[in-house]
Every structure is written in C-alpha cells, then in structure tokens.
Structure 1
Amino acid sequence: MSTSDSLHSVHAFLCTPIVNELLTTHPNWLCQNAESHTLSSEISSWLEWAGERPHGYSTANGPQVLPPVGEHKWLLLLRYYTHPSCDGLSDLYSTIPADLRELLDATRRLRLSREPGPARFLASSCPQNATREAVYQSVDYESSGIEAPDYARMVGMSPKKAHEVVRMTAYTSRLLCSSPSLRTIRHVVDVGAGQAYLSRSLRDKIGLNVLALDWSDVQSQGAVRREAIGKKRRKREIPTPAQDESSVPHPNDNDPTPAKQQLSALTYMTLRITTDTLLSSVDEWFHRGYQFTTSEERESLYGKPTPALFVALHACGSLTPNILRAFLARLKSSDGNQKWSPQAAIVVGCCYNLLEASDFPLSHELTHPTSGRPPTYLTNNHLQLAAQVPSQWMRSEVASTATRLAIRKVVWRALLAGILARVPNLPANDNKQADDDDYCPVHLRRLGKLNDSVYDNWDAFLARAGEKLGVDLMQGHPRDREMESRLEVMHVLRCILGPVVESFILLDRLQWLKEELQGTGMDVELINLFDQASGSGRNVAIAISPYLRETNSR
C-alpha cells in the first residue's frame, strides 16, 4: 500500500460518523449536557453495555467468576485492543458488542506499528526498504556488537530519556556510516535541544560539531550547567573506549583517537525558532565556526557547501514542520555562495496539541482533495488524543497504576462537571487565565490540579473540589458507578483512536516530503526509534537522507 493510499484509508476512517462523534464528544461536555445531548444509536448501545455491572459469564464448563479484567469494561476493551488473540480472555471478549470489536480491529489495523524499525501499518503489504532496515537493525545492541549502556551512569537523565538519547545517537552514527555522501558530515544542528543531552552525546560519542538551539534561556543555561558538571565528572573518572558502555562507532573513523574527539565542539544559541530564524542561526554558526573544521576537510570541501545534519528529539508542535521547511528551503536553494547544505535529518515530533492550524494538512493529497472526498480538519480533541499510546498503558505495574489514576482523574472530573451543571447559584469564575477549551466547563478550569491522593476516595474528591470552588458538594452527590463505567469506556475508546490520528498527521508529513523531495536525490521514511518497553511515548522519527545504495553499517 502506497503512502497516498494509506493516507486516504486513515482519512476515510476518521471521517466515519461514529469515529467523528467519539473524537469530538469529550466526557466533560457529555456530562455537562447529559439531558440535552443525544448520542447516535451506535454509541448509545455501547454506553448501555458499558454501564452494565458484571455478574459473571458462562462458558462450556458452566458459570465462571469474572477475573480481575472483568471488573472494568474499559480494561476489557484495552486488553482486546492490545491482545486480541489471548485464549484466556476469548470468552470475555465475546461479551463485547460486535460493532465495538470491529471498531477496535480497525484502529489496530490503521495505526502505524510501534515495533522498532521502519514504521508500517500492522496489516500492510507495502514492500520493505531492506537497506534502510539494515541501518536501523544495526542499532540493536546485541546484533551490532555495541555493549548496552548503563543508564545509571548517565547523570541527570531519567532512564526513559537516557534510552532515547542513546538510541538516537546510535541510529545517527549508523546512518552516517551508511553512505559515502553522509560520512563527510561533521556538523549537526540539534533543534529544540533543551538541556542538550543529545547534543553532548553526538559530540562526545560520534565526534560531531554541534549547534544546540532552544527557545528557552532557562533550558540553555541548564545545558551549560550540565556541561560544567560533566567536565568535572570526566576529570574524576575518564573512561577508556572499552569502559565507556554508552559509546557508539564513529562514522568517520574506524578507531577514533582522543585527538580527533577534541576537535568537536558544542555551541549554544537561544532564539525563537522558526523556519527563517533556524536558517539564519545556522548561517551564523557556519560563518563563525570554521575553526572547528580540520585542514584536510577544508581542502576537500573547498568551493562546496559543508554538509550538515538536522536532528530533533521531541520537536514540539509546529517545530517539526518548521525544521522540515528549513531543510527543504536550503536544499532547493540556488544560491551558490552558501557555506552549508543539508544532507540528512532525523526529527522526532511530539505535542501535537501545540500544532498551528497552518501546519496541517501539508501534503497536496490533502490540501487539494479530489471530488467526493471529505474535507480535512483536526479539532483540538483530535490533537490532544494524538499523543496517546494506549498500547503501552499496561506495560508494567508502575505504568498500570499510573493509567488507572489518569483514567479516574478524567472520569471523576467529568462526573463533577455534571454535578456542577445542576448546582444552583454557583459562584462566578474569577480565573481569567483559563484556557478556551469548549469542552472544559469554566468551573473545572478554575478547579485546577488536585493532589493525586484526593482521587483515592470519592467523598474526599468532592470535599476538596467543593473547598476550592467555594460550594458544598457533600450532600446528594453519590458516586454514580454506572455512569463512571460508561465514561471510562468512552474515554478509553477515544484514546485508542489517538494513534490513528497520529498516523494521519505523520502520513500527511511523509506524503508532503515525498512530493517536495522529488528530483532532489533524497529519500524519506518514518522510523520507530525507541523500544516500546522504555515507555517512550513519541518514538516515530522522520528520517531524510540521500537514497541509500549500499550499507556499510556493520
């Protein structure tokens, strides 16, 4: 299946009435307008099933007591979504309404896979790019001979962040090894660098000169402090290459020497990052930074632009399209006096809720639809849900506990919205800083965040909410278990649709880049960089590089 066909398949699914209704009906709004809002018959039947209390089920061996999964309908749906062929739950799965199972099957089929390697549809027959896959698979520590890093030694980073930095560094190294045109790259621009963990890793492990860009001066100052701490630590303990467990092969030398490593430098810049400011900051860096280039490289590149790599680990909102626009603008520029040219990019996007309206859709396929196809749009609900990764919610006991708490927060606040809608003479909202979400009642925005412990008990939750709102909520508001179960199912269904929304965004970007890169000699694909078990939420990278004819990554 081509990217274009996949894009239209996802689009058609998201435009179906049932899916559209689920995505645009927030639990808060449903409870606040329970008496006036009428759901479709299909969704109403699901909610009716969701509100039924489990009393056991029958099998060929007679009545059985429900296992823990049966205590919550949302958990049953989640298990079916993640493990549809689990024999131990097949009888329970049969209790799920058939049309609901069909919906879950479709979401599972249309989301992009999250297995490490090239991102594909789970049921796709599209051909694999064997060369690209070889580049990615070489990142695997066991198959590549790279000793797995000791994350505990990576000071300042959580295990999740350390995993992402190590993995992206390894992939960058292998990609630069994969083509003669990429082996000459010694300069990399880390966009949205934050505390510059990735920047320092690319400098120290691969020997690249790095420009670390971030919009926040606080983040840049923090990166400088981390640099100073790292220098002091290295003075106390300087590992040899054999001892440095997180090292990766150097893309330019089979045996990098300390002298070579010392040629690398890290430059920090703070700015508001747009397409134009990104290009101008890189121009400035190259204008100032030729002292970081060896005489041999300067001679070999005389009269040619210096090749550069763009990287971004979690490029929030519209930062991803801005990076890609900058890449394309300089790639297609006819100015013969430019000091640098983009040769590759590895960009991991995130925070779709911060995406500007002008940055979706991007592809000609969606901006110029053929007759008969529905218009393309994404609401705030779509963008909020796109960051959900329900397949990872139960990956560990810690994750499972966090998931249950997160669902309870959403559902209880939705129930509270319904209660507040019936409370007479509720004090007016005096918080002028509340956001403008149309599904979030003003009093819930005024309520703000509550401590996690409040959600351990319904009465404690009502007492604390009433205290903050200045109203007595302790009389006549018992916990509605049936509505709570319905809201849990609805919320989980909406989250399960989230990865399909993300696939829609990513496929649009992929199709757009394929359109823009025609005739440039550049290739683009989506890569799942991080191991699911690490808990990395956003793991899909857009990788741009010259068409790969051979791989020398081993």
Structure 2
Amino acid sequence: MRGLLRTASDASDVEKYATLLVKFLSEYRWLTDAYVLDYFVENHWQKLPSSWQNVLKDIELDYLSQLLETASHFRPRAIWPLSLLCTIRVAKLSALTRKPVSSPDEIPEFSTKHCARPLHESNDRLGSFEPSENLSHAFRKHVKPKKQHEISRLGKIVHLLSCKSNSKHVLDVGAGHGHLARLLALGYGLKVSTVDVVGSHQSAANRFDDQAALHVQKADRRVGITSHPSTSTISGELPKHFTLELSKATTRADLEQFTRSSWSHRGEDHPFVLVGLHSCGDLGPSVLRLFAQVPTCRAVALVGCCYMKMTDDGGKPQVQEAIRKPAKLVQTAVRPLSRFVVQASREGLSYEAREVACHALEAYIKKLRDDPSSLKIHCYRALLEKVIVKRYPDYRHVPLGGVKHAANMTFSEYAEKALEKFPLQVCDIQVDNPVLEEAMKDWKKVITFYSLRLLLAPAIESLILTDRMLYLWEQGISSCLVPLFDPSLSPRNHVLLAIKQ
C-alpha cells in the first residue's frame, strides 16, 4: 500500500488494505496472542499445525533469519506445507515497507514545492538527508547515535512541515532532554516549546541548551554561518521546556491555553506544528486527537512506540507489582481509533499482539545470524515461568530481574540470578532439576515459535498505523505514512505526517 491518504480514492484503497490486515491477523490470533513467556505453561508448540511442526522442528536458526527478512522472497530448501509458505508470503506482502526514504522529495505530498513561506535560505532545496554523523558538535553532545539519526531526519521534515503550513512555532511532546527541539530552534530558527512528564528532563534540557548555544556562538564567530545546521546553525531562540503531561484527559481548551501562554505574553494564538518522536502508549492517540481538535495546530509529525501501553480508558495498564500483591497481568484488547477499523474488526488488538509489534525485528534477525545462542534467554525465561506457575500460580507473569550472559549459564544458574528479587526463596521452587535441564534441549523450538510471532509483527504495526491514518481522514485531514528512519537503528521507523488544508 502507498502510505498516502489525500483523496476519496486513496481512502477506499486504505480501507481495503485495513480490511485485509484485519482478516489476515484474525486468522492467526492463536499465534499473535501466544505470549512466548507461556511457551511451556500452555504448550505453544502443539498449537502449530502438525505439518508446520515437522518442517520447523530441526530448522537451522541462521536459515530462520531468512524467513523473517521483510524485503526478501523466502525459498525453502525442502518441500514445505503450502499453508506455511502462504502465511510467510502474505505476512511480508501485507506489511508496510520498512525501507527508509532517502530524501524528502520521495514524499509526494510533502515535496519542497509550493511552501506557504520560503524554506530556510540555506535549505531552499532539501535534497538527500544528511548523514546524522555530520551534525555539528552542538547537536551531537549528549546524544546517542540512534537519536542523532532520528533528529537529523525528523528535524528536516518538521522544518518542511513548518514551511508548508506557514507555522513558525513547534510543540514537541514527550521531548525528553530536548535534543530534537534544540536542533529545530538553533538549527532551523523555529520557536519551540517542549512538554515532558518527567521533571528532571526539564533541568537537563535547559543545561544542554546553554551548552549548545555557547558552541554555536563560538562556531559562528570562527567560520560564519554555513549552509546547513549539520555543520553550523542559524542562531534562534532557545527552546522553552515545561513539565506537563498530555494525556487522554487533556482537552482542546487545555492545549490552547498552554500554547498561548507559552509563546505569547499577550495570549495570542500562533499556528504551530505538533511533534511526537516515539510517543509512548496513549500519548500517540492523544497527539492525533488534539491535532484534529485544535484549529491553530496546523501540522503533525508523529512517531509512535510502546503500543502495548495503550489503554481504552486512558488509565495506566492494569499491572500490579507482584512482590506486594501477586496477580496475573490484566491484558485487554484496545479499541481502534477509526470508526472504520472498529466496524471491520470484532475486537481490538490484544496486549500480546501490540507487544510483539514493538519488537526490534532487524536486531533480532542479526542475532539469529550472528549469535543465535544469545537467544536462549527466551527459553530460560519461559521454563522458569513454568516452574513458578506450577508452585505459585498467583505469581504468573511476574517481572523478574534481567540476567547478563545468560547463554553461558545453566538453567539453574540463570534462575538463581533472575529470582534474586523474587519474594520467595530459590530453593522453594526447585530449579535445580535434571528434568528442567533436559527441557532446555528444546530451546531452538522456543526461538522458532517466537520467530513465527515476529513474522506477523510488521503486519500488526501496519494495522495500528493505518488505523491512525483513517482516524485523521474521518476528521477531514489528509495524511501520509513514511518510513523515515533506518529500522536497524530505530525499529519504530514510520512517521505519520499531516497538514490541515
């Protein structure tokens, strides 16, 4: 599917695509909803068709990586059941492409032509994305390579959105330490405010801003203003950082009052671009709702993440701390945003399906190829879950401590480390058992089952993203989905872009 929705014809195509995804995923709910943690508890391997079991039981893990490659056509080395081959093929064909665009000019609705106001004079032709490593020191300091890649690309797109929507103001939601906001303000001359629920982020962001501004001033005195913010900057106002939570409870009036006070002492309205870089859980849908409701919000750029944290009531996922009060995770389905997907699907995507949609597929494929034994951890954790549930059924799905270098341990060694903060003694649940060590021989089957779930993950995410497009369309707003980031660096690599006409 083209990630573009601007006409009734486009809407029809996107609705057909969403219907296909709903039907396809409903056929495999038994797989998408099978938490790998419960592999031994619920005997997941036996859920596979017997013909699948026969060809997958001895599959080499490096060969399994080819099955997951989204851009390649999988060719089995032996005769495989047609049902399995069709599942693999449809899963790959139905997912949105993850190959990142190389230039803003590849985004038809958001090309550099016909901007409402001129592009930055040093960027009148945006051309290809600059490599993030070319960001100047001012924008690289305190910023990890992954984030450098993201802010370099998204910064250019937000600048373009601001030009096309004639908006000089930007509100960055869930901004963290303000790395993107800093680039937009000092690098592109935009007036930027940020909000983040974590108060300590505000003080860090202010400190980093001051350091960046000092570096910019020194650099500009040495060489003058150069051609691109990757090497220097257009000195602008520093971002304004606020500690504030945007949620499902935030109203149009709340946001309008905040933006007026943020950008104007006289309470004036300014058109602005709303930005969310990896907006977690309910924050993503909240950003889209507020974008649709607030007239002065002229454009949006949204990258979502942590879909499993979305809720129907806007509250926190109902997960209790087992050490205080043991309880099974309450994992409920979440209602889609758009009316169309609500009507097309009998029920929303489950917690398990949304959780697997958040995995780093490309990183997992690399591990399958280069270091498959490191994935034994999935078998260890699933086996420990069986032990815990058998002895203490009320402690199912209890969060346990992470264990480094687990692949080099026996199961009992792993269990002792993982249970260090568990409220019960290790000896009470008898992990040092020859039967359990024997079960570890099935670790490759656990990885194979887990990989089959990951095969469907891009299709699940595609449905979530398409649902968001259709929601905006139902509000009278065109949009497009763009694979903006390198998925090996940034697994949630699609950005949803929209400009109000």
Q: Does 1:455 align with 2:407?
A: yes
Q: Does 1:208 align with 2:219?
A: no
Q: Does 1:352 align with 2:307?
A: yes
**Which of the pair has the greater relative contact order for Cα pairs under 8 Å at 6+ separation?**
1
Give the Cα separation in 1 of the matches to 2:398 and 2:131: 49
- When normalised by structure 1's length, the TM-score is 0.71
CA positional deviation for 1:84:
7.6
Give the Cα separation in 2 of the matches to 1:376 and 1:265: 46
Q: Which residue of 2 aligns with 1:536?
A: 490
Q: Which residue of 2 aligns with 1:545?
A: 499
Q: Which residue of 1 aligns with 2:322?
A: none
Alpha-carbon spacing, 1:509–1:482, altered in 2? closer, same or farther (3 Å): same
CA-to-aligned-CA distance 1:126-149 (integer Å, 9 cap, x gap)? xx97343668xx99x994485764
CA-to-aligned-CA distance 1:231-286 (integer Å, 9 cap, x gap)? 444455446332866169xxxxxxx9x6xx44x34211112212536752552342
Give the Cα separation in 2 of the matches to 1:546 and 1:132: 12
Q: Which residue of 1 aligns with 2:286?
A: 322
Letter of the structure 2 residue corresponding to residue 487 of structure 1: V
CA positional deviation for 1:379:
1.3
Alpha-carbon spacing, 1:229–1:44, altered in 2? closer, same or farther (3 Å): farther
**Contact 1:190-1:311 at 8 Å conserved across structures:** yes
Give the Cα separation in 2 of the matches to 1:311 and 1:402: 37
Among candidates 484, 503, 516, match of residue 475 of structure 2: 516
Give the Cα separation in 2 of the matches to 1:81 and 1:284: 45
Q: Percent identity over the alignment?
A: 21
Among candidates 24, 34, 38, match of residue 25 of structure 1: 34
Alpha-carbon spacing, 1:116–1:451, altered in 2? closer, same or farther (3 Å): same
Among candidates 414, 418, 423, match of residue 386 of structure 2: 418
Among candidates 112, 125, 130, match of residue 108 of structure 2: 130
Q: Which residue of 1 aligns with 2:356?
A: 385
Q: Which residue of 2 aligns with 1:475?
A: 433
Alpha-carbon spacing, 1:420–1:149, altered in 2? closer, same or farther (3 Å): closer
**Contact 1:279-1:326 at 8 Å conserved across structures:** no
**Contact 2:277-2:303 at 8 Å conserved across structures:** yes
Q: Which residue of 1 aligns with 2:376?
A: 408
**Contact 1:192-1:312 at 8 Å conserved across structures:** yes
TM alignment of 1:116-155, pairs within 5 A: 116-117=100-101, 130-132=108-110, 143-144=127-128, 149-150=133-134, 153=137, 154-155=140-141
Alpha-carbon spacing, 1:278–1:196, altered in 2? closer, same or farther (3 Å): farther
Among candidates 439, 445, 452, match of residue 398 of structure 2: 445
Among candidates 37, 56, 79, match of residue 66 of structure 2: 79
Q: Which residue of 1 aligns with 2:460?
A: 501
Q: Which residue of 2 aligns with 1:173?
A: 159
**Contact 1:107-1:496 at 8 Å conserved across structures:** yes
Please give the root-mean-square deviation of Cα atoms over the aligned residues, in Å. 3.5
Q: Secondary structure of 1:532's partner?
A: coil
Give the Cα separation in 2 of the matches to 1:466 and 1:350: 29
Q: Which residue of 1 aligns with 2:10?
A: none
**Contact 2:377-2:406 at 8 Å conserved across structures:** no
Q: Alignment length, in residue pairs? A: 446
**Contact 1:47-1:490 at 8 Å conserved across structures:** no
**Contact 2:299-2:500 at 8 Å conserved across structures:** yes
Q: Does 1:51 align with 2:6?
A: no
Alpha-carbon spacing, 1:193–1:451, altered in 2? closer, same or farther (3 Å): same
Q: Secondary structure of 1:242's partner?
A: coil
Q: Secondary structure of 2:279's partner?
A: strand
Letter of the structure 2 residue corresponding to residue 130 of structure 1: P
Among candidates 105, 110, 121, match of residue 94 of structure 2: 110
Among candidates 272, 275, 281, match of residue 311 of structure 1: 275
Q: Which residue of 2 aligns with 1:490?
A: 449
Letter of the structure 2 residue corresponding to residue 368 of structure 1: Q
Alpha-carbon spacing, 1:145–1:489, altered in 2? closer, same or farther (3 Å): closer
CA-to-aligned-CA distance 1:319-342 (integer Å, 9 cap, x gap)? 1111111111123xxxxxxxxx11
CA-to-aligned-CA distance 1:9-52 (integer Å, 9 cap, x gap)? 00000111xx1111122233231244xx8945x53442343333
Letter of the structure 2 residue corresponding to residue 22 of structure 1: L
Q: Secondary structure of 1:190's partner?
A: strand
Letter of the structure 2 residue corresponding to residue 366 of structure 1: V
**Contact 2:194-2:241 at 8 Å conserved across structures:** yes
Alpha-carbon spacing, 1:237–1:501, altered in 2? closer, same or farther (3 Å): same
**Contact 1:347-1:542 at 8 Å conserved across structures:** yes
Structure 2: gaps (5+ residues): 2-12, 114-118, 314-333
Give the Cα separation in 2 of the matches to 1:315 and 1:527: 16
**Contact 1:348-1:541 at 8 Å conserved across structures:** yes
CA positional deviation for 1:540:
1.1
Give the Cα separation in 2 of the matches to 1:280 and 1:23: 38
Q: Which residue of 2 aligns with 1:272?
A: 245
Give the Cα separation in 1 of the matches to 2:262 and 2:136: 37
Q: Secondary structure of 1:445's partner?
A: coil
Letter of the structure 1 residue corresponding to residue 358 of structure 2: A
Structure 1: gaps (5+ residues): 53-69, 119-127, 249-255, 294-303, 332-340, 430-440, 548-554
Q: Which residue of 1 aligns with 2:225?
A: 241
**Contact 2:298-2:500 at 8 Å conserved across structures:** yes
**Contact 2:302-2:496 at 8 Å conserved across structures:** yes
CA positional deviation for 1:222:
1.9
Letter of the structure 1 residue corresponding to residue 49 of structure 2: I
Alpha-carbon spacing, 1:172–1:412, altered in 2? closer, same or farther (3 Å): same
Q: Does 1:100 align with 2:84?
A: yes
